[in-house]
């Protein structure tokens, strides 16, 4: 499997401020106890871009079952900044060349791969070979074949695998699933989901480079709309048809700008999704036989907001979704609780992504989906 080198990625990456007002106060010496079930798992972040800097690292200050134990970066200047900010021991700081020696470090239990999409498979597989549990940021990979390679590596080396679907741990998502499961508003008939934003940044950013991203809006925001379409109906789709639109071809030269897709489900429900790098979208609405419910905003970092046809306004205490997500995975490892976002879920979504791209290439032709053998519904 040919991969871009870490050096070529670092050359493409845009350097920015690493600043965050959060300071780590947790002494590493107190991170463990003698009771396995109360152990806090050490997490190492691989890739210190904006998501790690402004979301994951601060969230690891709010987690109950895991903590920031190490970092992996190809930028030397970041090492001292993160070491001082988060009290990271020197021996827990790695680069992409010595990464494989992380297997000898007992203070690191989980590796969170937060690199461009095309590098997910390589580093997830290397993490599994090092004997570490793996969180792979979404989308899981750039192909179904790569998803299979990650899943197989984790199974072979007997480590747990999760995909960075933070919304699976959000209480609003849990409420939507409850409405669907209990038929609070009757049968779900139609679901509409939008996930997008207007990209105005550097056209050389990695998300607009197909070699690094594997695709455009669909690979970035589209997986949110795919997920909400599925848990908004409580079923996997049986077919999909899709369309692509481009209004700024001079900017989106290499990746998709806006995609719409329609799903059919075995119970007769249908869904429509929109994802874009050139239009704002952040909503889920489920139309049912006895009313409706919606989240708006539905996919952002929060706070989320929800409403129903009976006049209820959904309000849950806000907590960082990433903290909830990482704690849920830590509990899965420590207590054998349910894995809310297993690798099979990431593979399922990539099967759907590939079918959407195929439909577009074939002029919107409907693509049949066979997802039942994955054992994943929502």
Which residues sit opposite 67 in a β-bridge? 42
Q: Is residue 326 part of a domain?
A: no
The answer to whether residues 132 and 263 belong to one domain is no
Active-site residue (options: 179, 197, 224, 231): 224
51 catalytic? Reply is no
- Token output for 272: 């429509």
The answer to whether residues 160 and 173 belong to one domain is no
347 catalytic? Reply is no
Which of 201, 109, 222, 200 shows the shortest CA–CA distance to 160? 109
The answer to whether residues 38 and 127 belong to one domain is yes
| CATH number of the domain that residue 225 is part of | 3.30.360.10
Which of 194, 180, 268, 183 shows the shortest CA–CA distance to 226? 194
Q: Whole-angstrom Cα distance, residue 147 to residue 141?
A: 6
Q: For residue 38, what pLDDT band results from cuts at 50, 70 and 90?
A: low
Q: At what angle do helices 343-361 and 144-156 cross, to 10 degrees?
A: 170
Q: CA separation (Å) from 377 to 66, 269, 330, 373?
A: 27, 15, 22, 10
Measured in Å, how far apart are the chain's first and last C-alpha atoms? 30
pLDDT above 70: residue 110 = yes
pLDDT above 70: residue 29 = no
The answer to whether residues 61 and 138 belong to one domain is yes
- pTM of this structure: 0.90
Residue of 5 and 56 predicted with greater confidence: 56
Answer with the one of 124, 143, 164 that is the final residue of a domain: 164
Q: How many residues does the chain have?
A: 378
To 5 degrees, how large is the angle CA 348–CA 127–CA 134?
Answer: 45
Which residues sit opposite 282 in a β-bridge? 195
The pLDDT, as a whole number, for residue 378 is: 73
Quote the domain boundaries for residue 226: 169-317+344-374
Active-site residue (options: 85, 132, 138, 331): 138
Q: Is residue 329 part of a domain?
A: no
Answer with the one of 164, 187, 209 that is the final residue of a domain: 164
Q: Judge contact between 322 and 192, C-beta under 8 A.
A: no
Q: For residue 278, what pLDDT band results from cuts at 50, 70 and 90?
A: very high
Answer with the one of 164, 193, 226 that is the final residue of a domain: 164
The pLDDT, as a whole number, for residue 36 is: 42
The answer to whether residues 118 and 223 belong to one domain is no
The answer to whether residues 238 and 160 belong to one domain is no
Mean pLDDT of the chain: 91
| Range of lowest pLDDT (36-45, 79-88, 271-280) | 36-45
The answer to whether residues 117 and 190 belong to one domain is no
Domain total for the chain?
A: 2
The answer to whether residues 100 and 194 belong to one domain is no
């Amino acid at each position: 499997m040919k991969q871009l080198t870490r050096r070529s990625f670092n050359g493409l990456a845009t350097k920015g401020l690493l600043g965050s007002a959060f300071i780590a106060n947790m002494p590493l010496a107190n991170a463990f106890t003698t009771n396995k079930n109360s152990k806090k798992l050490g997490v190492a972040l691989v890739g210190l871009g904006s998501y790690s800097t402004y979301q994951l690292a601060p969230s690891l200050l709010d987690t109950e079952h895991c903590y920031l134990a190490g970092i992996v970066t190809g930028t030397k200047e970041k090492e001292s900044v993160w070491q001082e900010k988060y009290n990271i021991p020197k021996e827990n700081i790695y680069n992409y060349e010595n990464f494989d020696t992380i297997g000898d470090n007992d203070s690191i239990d989980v590796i969170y791969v937060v690199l461009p999409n095309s590098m997910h498979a390589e580093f997830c597989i290397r993490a599994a070979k090092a004997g570490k549990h793996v969180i792979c940021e979404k989308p899981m990979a750039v192909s179904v074949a790569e998803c299979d390679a990650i899943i197989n590596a984790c199974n072979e080396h007997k480590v747990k695998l999760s995909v960075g679907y933070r919304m699976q741990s959000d209480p609003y998502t849990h409420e939507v699933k409850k409405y669907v499961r209990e038929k609070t508003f009757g049968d779900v008939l139609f679901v509409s989901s939008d996930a997008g934003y207007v990209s105005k940044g550097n056209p050389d950013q990695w998300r607009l480079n197909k070699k690094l991203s594997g695709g455009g809006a669909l690979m970035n925001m589209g997986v949110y709309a795919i997920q909400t379409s599925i848990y908004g109906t409580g079923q996997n789709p049986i077919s999909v048809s899709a369309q692509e639109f481009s209004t700024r071809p001079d900017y989106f030269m290499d990746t998709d700008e806006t995609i719409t897709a329609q799903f059919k489900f075995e119970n007769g429900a249908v869904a429509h999704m929109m994802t874009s790098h050139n239009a704002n979208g952040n909503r889920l609405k489920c139309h049912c036989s006895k009313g409706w419910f919606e989240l708006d905003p539905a996919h952002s970092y929060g706070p989320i907001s929800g409403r129903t046809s009976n006049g209820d306004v959904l309000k849950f205490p806000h907590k960082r979704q990433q903290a909830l997500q990482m704690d849920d995975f830590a509990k899965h490892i420590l207590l054998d609780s349910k894995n809310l976002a297993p690798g099979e879920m990431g593979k399922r979504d990539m099967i759907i992504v590939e079918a959407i791209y195929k439909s577009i290439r074939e002029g919107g032709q409907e693509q049949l989906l066979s997802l039942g053998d994955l054992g994943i519904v929502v």
